[in-house]
């Protein structure tokens, strides 16, 4: 894949993210239809659907032969294509429904199964994060890079909780408590794409989460890696999109954060560690 080809796809992803973001701006504070998608707390609104339609229109116009995996409509087109777009038309729907300012339109392109292009548009703050393999990462056309924080006790981390957190003991609560104890703080924005974008630009030093889908992660992975960070499984083995688990850091903290996740004690005893 040449740099010119990647730039072409990056330009398309940018158009798509901006189209979706424009829809989100229109609906912010004006929602009339908020529904649950079968899992408690998993919301969908007319903004999700309208943003997806705007994004799909851009992709249909420019790359109609590519496969698409999107949160609302699922698999579209040839999903066995070497080019697969992973789309979240509104990442952070619950935030959006409450007008809490952490949400985005997120567009990632997997080429032969690996994230290669990513654009995350935060319409509330008008921040456009863009990256492609070998082309670097930017926010509003300015180069970004990860932080240089090299110890957990000086770090600010971010995480999230999956929709099944009420039904499973593997719910990230113990990890959240333990890492809060070891660091300067752990935030929870409620939008994986924003967490990854903020890790890429150095506002946060590391991020971990479970229960994610490809559309939550694809764009942000490219951003973090192109900004100089590292993305793996919790145990630092190669990242697997199908696992739904991600560890993304500035690189300096990667081993220590991984070790802390592995050694996290039960929630009932974390204060004694």
- The model's pLDDT over 225-255, given as tens digits with 9 standing for 90+, comes to 999 999 999 999 999 999 999 999 999 999 9
Percent of the chain at pLDDT above 70?
94
Give residue 42's pLDDT. Answer: 62
Helices 192-200 & 214-226 angle (0-180, nearest 10): 0
- The model's pLDDT over 196-227, given as tens digits with 9 standing for 90+, comes to 999 999 999 999 999 999 999 999 999 999 99
Q: What distance in Å separates the CA atoms of residue 19 and residue 22, rounded to the nearest whole number? A: 5
For residue 37, pLDDT over 80 is answered with: no
* 36 assigned to a ligand binding site: no
Instruction: Name the CATH architecture for the domain at 3-143.
Output: 2-Layer Sandwich (3.30)
Give residue 153's pLDDT. Answer: 97
Average pLDDT, the chain: 93
Judge whether 220 and 160 are in contact, CB under 8 Å. Answer: no
What residues pair up with 104 in beta bridges, in sequence order? Answer: 91
Give residue 32's pLDDT. Answer: 79
Q: What distance in Å separates the CA atoms of residue 82 and residue 109, rounded to the nearest whole number? A: 10
- The model's pLDDT over 105-154, given as tens digits with 9 standing for 90+, comes to 999 999 999 999 999 999 999 999 999 999 999 999 999 999 999 999 99
Give residue 253's pLDDT. Answer: 98
Give residue 164's pLDDT. Answer: 62
* 46 assigned to a ligand binding site: no
Percent of the chain at pLDDT above 90?
84
CATH of domain 152-269: 3.40.190.80
For residue 186, pLDDT over 80 is answered with: yes
For residue 71, pLDDT over 90 is answered with: no
* 91 assigned to a ligand binding site: yes
* 150 assigned to a ligand binding site: no
Question: Minimal CA–CA distance to 194: which of 106, 261, 73?
Answer: 106
* 247 assigned to a ligand binding site: no
Dihedral sign (CA 119, 187, 200, 248): negative
Extents of the domains making up the chain = 3-143, 152-269
């Amino acid at each position: 894949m040449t740099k010119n080809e990647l730039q072409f796809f990056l330009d398309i992803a940018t158009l798509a993210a901006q189209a979706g973001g424009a829809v989100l701006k229109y609906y912010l504070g004006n929602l009339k239809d908020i529904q649950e998608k079968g899992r408690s707390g998993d919301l969908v609104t007319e903004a999700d659907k309208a943003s997806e339609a705007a994004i799909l229109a851009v992709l249909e116009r420019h790359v109609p032969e590519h496969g698409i995996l999107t949160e609302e409509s699922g698999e579209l087109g040839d999903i066995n294509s070497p080019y697969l777009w992973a789309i979240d038309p509104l990442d952070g729907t619950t935030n959006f429904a409450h007008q809490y300012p952490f949400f985005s339109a997120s567009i990632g392109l997997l080429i032969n199964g690996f994230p290669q292009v990513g654009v995350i548009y935060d319409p509330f703050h008008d921040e456009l994060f863009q990256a492609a393999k070998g082309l670097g990462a930017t926010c509003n056309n300015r180069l970004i890079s990860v932080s240089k924080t090299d110890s957990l006790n000086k770090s600010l981390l971010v995480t999230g909780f999956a929709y099944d957190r009420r039904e499973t003991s593997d719910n990230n609560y113990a990890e959240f408590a333990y890492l809060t104890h070891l660091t300067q703080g752990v935030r929870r924005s409620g939008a994986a794409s924003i967490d990854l974008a903020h890790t890429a630009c150095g506002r946060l030093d590391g991020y971990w989460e479970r229960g994610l889908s490809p559309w939550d992660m694809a764009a942000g992975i490219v951003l973090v890696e192109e900004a100089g960070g590292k993305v793996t499984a919790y145990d630092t083995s190669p990242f697997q999109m199908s696992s739904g688990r991600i560890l993304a850091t500035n690189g300096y903290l990667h081993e220590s954060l991984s070790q802390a996740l592995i050694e996290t004690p039960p929630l009932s005893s974390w204060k004694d560690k």
